[in-house]
């Protein structure tokens, strides 16, 4: 294996081909799959030309996009600083507000196109995210502004109607005049969902808000990405309490929230039992069942369920006999009977049922109609309370996200939102942690869309949506901590800011061919001049698949600057030169990983010597160079 860091996201397509090669070695030659041979080996278990399939113009490109590797990175923004990657309409560089509680927080706020960010997170957060919630653009023709990577055939049209991102890359604003109105939206969401699924834990779930416009398409895409059998629910949320004629004399009050799991191991929790549910579903105490409100549930095994059951005959108090497949062994049934927990119907001759009391209930099922949750008006009200103005008037209410998190997460889980907007999800994470002393962590991702001239946000001094989101987290965190008082001890209201940018490395780093150490020393630096040690460190974390929120320390060893990440998961020295004594000290600490600049070694023998030192003092350490 090469001793050089890759600094390139995984090629997911190549990885999938490798998986096929493991199962069917004969169908892969020089990295290419012989589809006809694979189909023949699968026999009848393949789709025919007449199989049902949801497709659109550009689908093949969207599928390929999910697996295409990129050479980008995430740069830490520790303190408030000017970011030299764009300017506002007056030519003034954007000022990005930085992180909060960098040294202690485990939360992340990432600025950049979420497609690229999701690719960068594939190694570090693979299988680690318990819940994803996204509120993507609804394709109304006004709010869908994302990179157009799907085709170059409309360049002239987009030149006139599109907008541009901070770094000059073209953004695409989808309008109904575009002949591929639905296709472009499908191509936008598909690769993002594929990449998001990879990040979910085995029992992880995703919630996706959507309106009437694309719910049909989203359901089909999600069935394909997550599997039709992993569909959990389509919730209908009453987002508007008012009745107004929106179109064709129909008052649209609701939106949809699709919920899917990554696998069959996932399920949503019961909600706390409510007085309303008890009143509707439980009977008042009776002489036979005096211990509280109660209800009967079947004792028989449901049809179609596997796992067996117990066949025997039960005689009711009236003498009626019932021979069935029961869920309990006969002795367990007799115990229920002696405890007064069996109901035989009003005439004492019905099929026996087990009695449960409301106060013993673990909760109630979630309904798929959410009319009691806060409306969009409450979401706007929260923004007004925090900011004093309507800087973001499309925010979802915090109670909506809290409802999802309560049924889908546990106190130590990671929650991801890659259409973060005003950061309602981050607000909800902090709120729920304050309520149950949890340690949930959030990862927010948001494209730094420019706040238009004349908007309330621009008037308030916010250059991009990211600045609104970060400021909301700060203000909401302070409010939550202040209201919680002593119970908020240890509450994490901070976040590390990371900004998507091009790779830290110059093109020479990726050039084909091998160079001798003497040739490397004669070349220009393979690292861009404006990149810091922390920039390089975070590139290494991404390349090695390490989490981005662990503790980090910095020290001098023999006069050289050395970074230690998470107590030795990684030790890095990016100095132009380093002494053998310093290398020996680093090796003696036996980190799991170590990385140096290739140019810090004055010759090939010196570089070989460093590797030999690690073999001697830290044989289990993986050593790489940049």
- Residue 44, Cβ density class (10 Å: 0-12 exposed, 13-18 middle, ≥19 buried): exposed
pLDDT score, position 152: 34
pLDDT score, position 143: 52
SS3 496: strand
Residues linked to residue 73 through DSSP beta bridges, in sequence order: 501
SS3 353: strand
Can you identify the CATH homologous superfamily of domain 74-271+366-500?
Answer: Vaccinia Virus protein VP39 (3.40.50.150)
The domain locations on the chain are 12-53, 74-271+366-500, 275-360, 505-625
CA 213/CA 185 separation, integer angstroms: 11
pLDDT score, position 314: 97
H or E element that contains 443: strand 441-446
pLDDT score, position 36: 79
pLDDT score, position 27: 84
User: Is the sign of the CA dihedral 414, 469, 472, 503 positive or negative?
Assistant: positive
pLDDT score, position 269: 95
pLDDT score, position 49: 63
pLDDT score, position 355: 97
pLDDT score, position 173: 59
CA 326/CA 354 separation, integer angstroms: 11
Contact 506, 529 (CB under 8 A): no
CA contacts within 13 A on the Cβ side of 396: 32
pLDDT score, position 154: 39
If the chain, 626 residues long, is cut into consecutive pieces of 10 residues, what is the mean pLDDT of each piece?
Answer: 83 87 84 82 66 88 95 92 50 67 97 97 98 88 51 39 42 59 90 98 98 93 97 95 76 93 93 90 96 95 69 96 95 96 96 95 92 87 83 82 98 98 97 96 95 81 89 95 86 97 91 58 77 97 98 97 98 96 98 95 90 97 96
């Amino acid at each position: 294996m090469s001793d050089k860091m890759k600094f390139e996201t995984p090629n997911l397509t190549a990885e999938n081909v490798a998986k096929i090669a493991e199962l069917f070695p004969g169908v892969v030659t020089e990295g290419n799959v012989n589809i006809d041979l694979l189909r023949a080996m699968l026999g009848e278990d393949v789709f025919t030309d007449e199989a049902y399939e949801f497709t659109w113009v550009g689908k093949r490109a969207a599928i390929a996009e999910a697996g295409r590797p990129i050479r980008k990175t995430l740069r830490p923004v520790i303190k408030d600083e000017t970011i030299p990657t764009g300017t506002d309409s007056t030519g003034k560089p954007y000022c990005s507000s930085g992180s909060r509680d960098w040294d202690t927080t485990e939360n992340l706020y990432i600025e950049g196109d979420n497609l690229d960010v999701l690719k960068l997170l594939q190694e570090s957060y693979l299988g680690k995210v318990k819940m994803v919630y996204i509120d993507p653009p609804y394709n109304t023709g006004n709010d869908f502004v994302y990179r157009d990577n799907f085709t170059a055939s409309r360049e002239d049209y987009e030149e006139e109607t599109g907008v541009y991102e901070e770094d000059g890359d073209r953004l695409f604003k989808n309008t109904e005049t575009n002949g591929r109105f639905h296709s472009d939206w499908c191509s936008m969401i598909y690769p993002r969902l594929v990449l998001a699924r990879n990040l979910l834990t085995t029992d992880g779930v995703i919630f996706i808000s959507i309106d009437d416009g694309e719910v049909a398409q989203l359901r089909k895409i999600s069935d394909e990405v997550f599997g039709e059998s992993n569909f959990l629910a389509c919730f209908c949320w009453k987002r508007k309490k008012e009745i107004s004629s929106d179109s064709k004399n129909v008052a649209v009050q609701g939106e949809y929230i699709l919920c899917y799991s990554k696998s069959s191991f996932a399920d949503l929790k019961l909600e706390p039992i409510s007085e309303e549910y008890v009143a509707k579903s439980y009977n008042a105490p009776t002489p036979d069942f005096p211990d509280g409100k109660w209800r009967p549930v079947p004792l028989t095994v449901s049809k179609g369920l596997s796992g067996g059951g117990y066949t025997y005959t039960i005689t009711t108090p009236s003498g009626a006999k019932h021979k069935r497949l029961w869920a309990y062994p006969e002795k367990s049934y007799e115990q229920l009977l002696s405890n007064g927990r069996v109901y035989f119907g009003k005439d004492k001759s019905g099929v026996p049922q087990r009695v449960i009391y409301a106060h013993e209930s673990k909760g109630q099922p979630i309904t798929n109609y959410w009319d009691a949750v806060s409306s969009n008006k409450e979401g706007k009200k929260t923004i007004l309370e925090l900011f004093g103005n309507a800087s973001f008037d499309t925010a979802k209410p915090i109670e909506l996200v809290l409802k999802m998190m309560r049924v889908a997460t546990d106190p130590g889980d990671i929650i991801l939102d890659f259409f973060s907007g005003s950061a309602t999800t981050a607000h909800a994470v902090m709120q729920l942690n304050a309520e149950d002393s949890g340690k949930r962590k959030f990862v927010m991702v948001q494209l730094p869309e420019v706040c238009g001239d004349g908007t309330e946000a621009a008037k308030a001094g916010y250059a991009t949506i990211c600045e609104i989101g970060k400021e909301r987290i700060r203000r909401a965190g302070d409010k939550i901590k202040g209201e919680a008082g002593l119970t908020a001890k240890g509450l994490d209201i901070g976040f590390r800011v990371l900004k998507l940018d091009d790779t830290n490395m110059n093109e020479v780093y990726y050039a084909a061919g091998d160079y001798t150490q003497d040739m490397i020393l004669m070349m220009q630096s393979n690292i861009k001049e404006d990149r810091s040690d922390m920039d390089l460190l975070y590139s290494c974390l991404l390349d090695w698949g390490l989490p981005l929120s662990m503790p980090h320390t910095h020290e001098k060893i023999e006069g050289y600057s050395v970074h230690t990440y998470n107590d030795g998961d990684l030790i890095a020295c990016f100095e132009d030169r380093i002494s053998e004594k310093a290398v020996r000290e680093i090796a003696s600490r036996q980190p799991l990983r170590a990385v140096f600049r290739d140019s810090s070694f004055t010759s090939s023998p010196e570089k070989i010597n460093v590797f030999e030192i690690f073999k001697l003092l830290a044989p289990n350490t993986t050593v790489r160079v940049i």
